[in-house]
Amino acid sequence: MKIPEIKRLVTNYTLDALEKAELALIQEEAMPFEVHGEDDGEVLTHILAAKWILEDMESNGRELKESLRAYSQKVRNSIS
């Protein structure tokens, strides 16, 4: 998981665009835009993280930094 790539996705794409990219990746089709990652798993992780952050920003009125921090905490809690 690379934070700079997640930030890039959040700031440059809408939730709808990210959902289309996720679907294209899952269906092994051409992605509508490039998502950087070492493999498909990391690419999917970046898309899902960006979606979560955008939804959190909208539903909780948070800034990007706050939502990113909340997402990172969620990940840390899930692996500890």
pLDDT tens readout for residues 24-68: 999 999 999 999 999 999 999 999 999 999 999 999 999 999 999
d(CA 34, CA 55): 21
pLDDT of residue 64: 97
pLDDT of residue 29: 97
d(CA 4, CA 12): 12
d(CA 24, CA 34): 11
pTM: 0.94
**What band does 80 get if pLDDT is binned at 50, 70 and 90?**
confident
pLDDT of residue 75: 92
